[in-house]
């Protein structure tokens, strides 16, 4: 059996990923662009499938992702287009990140959110049926798939799924789609399917609307006040490279042992969840300034006030642990944006963070 070594262990990861045919959906988004860079760094043969970038600027263009991988602009809602690419590429590993990923956008466009996040997931998984070389599929959802009762309790993988808003509901439904296609179709064909529920991610290169640190950067770079809708809301914040390392580790472990297929939470330890206000205070120190104020009243649709994840399953089964504490994650994020504004190359900034993350993991593994 092929040796499996954690991708956060530097060259060990490259031994697994080098030459692997990987289908990465959502490669034009924030997390997808980072993951495309990392997979390219590890030597994988990556085909990206996604809509064109949704923001300007965007990491996909600044880091020249299209020059590093085989990039295809395709809508996951297009069944036949997705199937055609999957059967052409014959991916050994599929990492499904393509999604409508914003809570407030889900309220504005609920049907499109459901079509993308639910049926898009079904299209990708169904296209893998009959693909002889397919071995692993990781479907990325969110920490918001749980029926949030606003209690001080970290959610575990066997807690009830739910969703007050269209985005959360669509991702909970994507969990059911993933479990269905795993049990009804793909397990019998030797394809291990798992879902990954990650907490709130931060990192350089995100320009999405209604995201805390991108909003802070936009406000402070223009000398404006950052307005916080819910400063006391608590979330499991983490640097983007921590969940991406977890997705890679999960894919490796599934390749070695399909019995590990299932749902996994990825995030900081439950007691390390932090409020929006706490994160902004760290961002102010890292940025060297910037002011904020709470909104006069909470405007807009419902958003959960408290959310934390129990991550013991990922630690015990996969040996996945977060590498960067929140203060370092925020510091690295704000430094990324400062250096980009000073003229640094976006791809080089990402590659430097990836190298540091791999070095940190190697140091932990050898200690």
Mean pLDDT computed over every residue of the chain: 92
Model confidence pTM above 0.85 = yes
- Boundaries of domain holding 23: 11-366
Angle 61-63-65 (CA atoms, 0-180°, nearest 5)?
A: 70
* pLDDT band with cut points at 50, 70 and 90 for residue 3: very low
Q: 3-state DSSP call for residue 137?
A: strand
333 pLDDT band (50/70/90 cuts)? very high
Residue 330 has pLDDT above 90, yes or no: yes
Residues 65-117 have pLDDT tens digits of 999 999 999 999 999 999 999 999 999 999 999 999 888 899 999 999 999 99
Give residues with Cβ within 8 angstroms of 281, minimum separation 6: none
In this predicted structure, the answer to whether residue 167 has a pLDDT above a threshold of 50 is: yes
For the beta carbon of residue 357, count every other beta carbon within 10 angstroms.
22
Asked, as a colleague might, if the bond just before 188 is cis with ω within 30 of 0, I would say no
Closest C-alpha to 133, from 27, 23, 235, 298: 23
In a domain, 118, yes or no: yes
Distance between terminal CA atoms of the chain? Answer: 27
pLDDT given at position 149: 86
Q: Is residue 152 part of a domain?
A: yes
Flag whether 4 is in a domain: no
pLDDT tops 50 at residue 6? no
CB 69 within 8 A of CB 37: no
DSSP H helices, the chain, are 11-17, 30-42, 59-62, 79-89, 103-108, 110-114, 120-127, 166-181, 212-221, 241-256, 276-287, 312-318, 326-341, 346-366
CATH number of the CATH domain containing 241: 3.40.50.720
From its phi and psi, is residue 264 left (phi > 0), alpha (psi between -120 and 50) or beta?
A: beta
For residues 217 and 292, the answer to whether their CB atoms sit within 8 Å is: no
Question: Distances from the Cα of 263 to the Cαs of 193, 212, 259, in angstroms?
Answer: 9, 27, 12
Residue 83 in any domain: the answer is yes
Confidence tier at 151 by pLDDT (50, 70, 90): confident
* Tens digit of each residue's pLDDT (9 = 90 or more) over 264-301: 999 998 888 899 999 999 999 999 999 999 987 656 66
Count the domains in the chain. 1
Average pLDDT over residues 157-182: 96
**Position 290 in a domain:** yes
CA distance 271 to 281: 18
3-state secondary structure (DSSP) of residue 236: coil
Under a CB-based contact definition with an 8 Å cutoff, are residues 33 and 27 in contact? yes
- What are residue 264's DSSP bridge partners? 196
Average pLDDT over residues 316-342: 96
Q: Is residue 3 part of a domain?
A: no
Q: Over 60: is that where the pLDDT of 8 sits? A: no
Tell me the pLDDT band of 366, cut-offs 50, 70 and 90. low
Binned at pLDDT 50, 70 and 90, residue 363 comes out as: low
Report the pLDDT value the prediction gives residue 295, as an integer from 0 to 100: 83
Answer whether 28's CB lies under 8 Å from 52's CB: yes
Is pLDDT above 90 for 153?
no
- Report pLDDT digits (tens) over 14-68: 899 999 999 999 999 999 999 999 999 999 999 999 999 999 999 999 999 999 9
Asked if residue 356 belongs to a domain, the reply is yes
What distance in Å separates the CA atoms of residue 162 and residue 168, rounded to the nearest whole number? 7
- Average pLDDT of span 182-203: 97
Whether 247 maps to a domain, the answer reads yes
* Average of per-residue pLDDT across 215-239: 93
What Cα–Cα distance (Å) separates residue 251 from each residue in 16, 96, 134? 10, 12, 12
């Amino acid at each position: 059996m092929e040796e499996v070594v954690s991708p956060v262990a530097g060259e060990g990861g490259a031994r697994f990923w080098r030459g692997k045919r990987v289908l990465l959906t959502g490669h034009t988004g924030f997390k997808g662009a980072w993951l495309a860079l990392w997979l390219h760094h590890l030597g994988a043969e990556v085909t990206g499938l996604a809509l064109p970038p949704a923001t300007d600027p965007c990491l996909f263009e600044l880091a020249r992702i299209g020059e590093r991988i085989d990039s295809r602009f395709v809508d996951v809602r297009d069944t036949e287009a997705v199937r055609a690419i999957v059967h052409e590429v014959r991916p050994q590993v599929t990492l499904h990140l393509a999604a409508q990923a914003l809570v407030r956008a889900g309220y504005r466009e609920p049907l499109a959110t459901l079509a993308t996040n639910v049926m898009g997931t079904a299209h990708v998984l169904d296209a893998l049926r009959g693909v002889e070389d397919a071995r692993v599929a990781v479907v990325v959802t969110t920490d918001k798939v749980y029926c949030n009762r606003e209690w001080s309790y970290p959610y575990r993988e066997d807690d009830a799924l739910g969703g007050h808003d269209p985005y959360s509901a669509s991702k909970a439904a994507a969990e059911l789609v993933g479990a269905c296609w795993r049990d009804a179709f793909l397990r019998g064909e030797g394809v291990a399917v798992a879902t990954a529920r990650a907490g709130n991610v931060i990192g350089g290169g995100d320009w999405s609307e209604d995201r805390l640190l991108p909003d802070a950067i936009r406000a402070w770079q223009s000398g404006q006040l950052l307005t916080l809708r819910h400063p006391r809301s608590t979330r499991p914040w983490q640097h983007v490279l921590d969940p991406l390392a977890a997705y890679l580790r999960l894919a490796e472990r599934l390749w070695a042992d399909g019995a590990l297929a299932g749902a996994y939470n990825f995030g900081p330890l439950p007691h390390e969840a932090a409020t929006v206000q706490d994160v902004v205070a760290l961002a102010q120190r890292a940025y060297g300034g910037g002011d904020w104020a709470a909104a006069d009243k909470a405007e807009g649709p419902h958003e959960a006030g408290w959310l934390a994840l129990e991550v013991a399953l990922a630690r015990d089964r996969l040996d996945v642990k977060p590498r960067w504490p929140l203060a370092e994650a925020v510091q690295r994020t704000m430094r990324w944006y400062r250096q980009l504004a000073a003229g640094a190359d976006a791809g080089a900034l990402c590659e430097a963070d990836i190298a540091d993350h791999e070095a940190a993991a190697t140091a932990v593994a050898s200690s």
